Amino acid sequence: MPIDEWHSAEKRKSANPSQWKRNVIKKSIATGKGYLNYKGREIGERKTGPDCCCKKYKCFVQINEEDRKLILENFNKLEETYVQTVYLGGLIKTENVEKERSKTGTGKKRSCSHKYYIKLGNRNIQICRNGFASIHGISKKRVDNVAKEYRDPTVTTPAQSNRGKHQNRPNRIPSEWVSKVDSHIRSFPRRESHYGKNKSSRYYLSPELNIKRMYELYLKKHELGLEASAKPIVSFDFYYRYFKQNFKYSFGSPRSDTCKKCDMLSNKLKDKTLDNDETQQIQIEKSLHQAKADTFFVDLKEKSQLALNNEECEVLTFDYQQNMPLPKIPTVSVTTGTPVFDCFPIMRNAQAQLSVLPQKPLYDHALLLKKAKYNDVMQLVKNYVPPNKLYFYSALKSEAVGPTDDISSEDDDDQAEVNL
């Protein structure tokens, strides 16, 4: 089934639960702020209720208007319903019924009675139930519910609310389908970064993949039997979120600076038609090739350390970085009719003075450089390598230009070069 029917191609924003409607309403109720309910009706902020007109306790006389405002402000600052319930429960005292009056009928007798207090400084002022509800700006029903939590004298804190904690989840993805999604994502080949210097826990999938393509492959493998009009059991949104939350995977980019011989030998090893002898021969050739490269870097490290300790020794290293056309568009110069290139040669100059060191040859043939790179190197090294060092210049070859043949063969100091 086409994914576009179920998922927009636009990039999804990160979830912000604090802005969800139900959470906004929940927090507004706890803090006493005004809000729009689910029906779109405006609900005002929490205010002190009407005077209870209590003749026994004279609640609104004992507690003046300034104190009532302060009590309501402190109550709203608690911001959580459970914390407010604990606060209200601490102001309610539960006692046994002192005197039972005879009543006619089948009415249920009270098992206990409650006394309500307001704390001002060091004073506990007893008030009636209606005044207790009015001063805190809550309903009498909520006061009764809090009092029920403290019927048992041994109870010190109310039970946690069970709202929203049921297991009736009709839209939950079954565990067996979640397992299929997990195994499908893990089935894709992964690799570590080719360019990173330090080890990382992040892995990279093929640059030809993306999450949308992976989801399409999942549907073909696990949900191919569904009818065309049926909605997939696992939506793209769930697949996307599961991928992001449970896997530290990214999609790699094509490698651009790998060794051609290593790539060629690696591709040959993937051929399943090879016999054991051919496979072993290719592996030996690959190991020998990599050993030569390791020998070069070990020797370069030793020479670099020597250059740091010896003022008369100089080691130059060049990074044959690709010449990048600027801007990155297939255009040519208006005046010359040739592409515009900005070259990025990278050279390390360890010391001010020069002492050319012999370097053991690692290859039995000269490495071909692109013409632009060849010209860059020749322009840079002419200030460091004397023209009579033919061993160095003969090792440089261009794809368009052969070995340098305009250098005089006289005074040739054999086996002299600069570390590259």
Note whether 408 and 359 are same-domain residues.
yes
Predicted local distance difference test score (pLDDT) of residue 107 = 63
Predicted local distance difference test score (pLDDT) of residue 242 = 94
Domain boundary among 234, 251, 268: 251
Note whether 144 and 235 are same-domain residues.
no
Predicted local distance difference test score (pLDDT) of residue 257 = 64
Partner residues linked to 232 by β-bridges? none
Note whether 192 and 286 are same-domain residues.
no
Tens-digit pLDDT profile for residues 371-380: 888 888 888 8
Distance CA 390, CA 407 (A): 7
167 lies in a domain?
A: no
Domain extent at residue 127: 46-97+111-149
14 lies in a domain?
A: no
Note whether 130 and 229 are same-domain residues.
no
Note whether 262 and 228 are same-domain residues.
no
Predicted local distance difference test score (pLDDT) of residue 35 = 93
Predicted local distance difference test score (pLDDT) of residue 217 = 93
Domain boundary among 287, 305, 323: 305
User: Of the candidates 227, 224, 218, which has an alpha carbon nearest to the alpha carbon of residue 180?
Assistant: 218
User: Of the candidates 146, 144, 132, 114, which has an alpha carbon nearest to the alpha carbon of residue 49?
Assistant: 132
Output the DSSP codes for 312-362.
T---EEEE-PPPEESSSSS---TTT-S--EE---EEEE--SS---B-----
- The stretches in the chain having pLDDT less than 70 are 1-13, 102-107, 194-199, 226-229, 254-257, 317-367, 391, 400-420
Other Cβ atoms closer than 10 A to 212: 14
Note whether 247 and 263 are same-domain residues.
no
104 lies in a domain?
A: no
Note whether 291 and 354 are same-domain residues.
no
Tens-digit pLDDT profile for residues 49-78: 999 999 999 999 999 999 999 999 999 999
Predicted local distance difference test score (pLDDT) of residue 24 = 92
Strands 92-95 and 123-127: unpaired
29 lies in a domain?
A: no
Note whether 57 and 145 are same-domain residues.
yes
39 lies in a domain?
A: no
Note whether 373 and 397 are same-domain residues.
yes
Note whether 130 and 85 are same-domain residues.
yes
Distance CA 26, CA 419 (A): 70
381 lies in a domain?
A: yes
Note whether 245 and 273 are same-domain residues.
no
Predicted local distance difference test score (pLDDT) of residue 2 = 44
Distance CA 27, CA 31 (A): 6
191 lies in a domain?
A: yes
Predicted local distance difference test score (pLDDT) of residue 366 = 63
Q: How many domains does the chain have?
A: 4
Conformational region of residue 5, where left means phi above 0, alpha means psi within -120 to 50, and beta covers everything else: alpha
Predicted local distance difference test score (pLDDT) of residue 104 = 64
Q: Is 389 exposed, middle or buried (0-12, 13-18, 19+ CB in 10 A)?
A: buried
Predicted local distance difference test score (pLDDT) of residue 185 = 94
Note whether 241 and 316 are same-domain residues.
no
296 lies in a domain?
A: yes
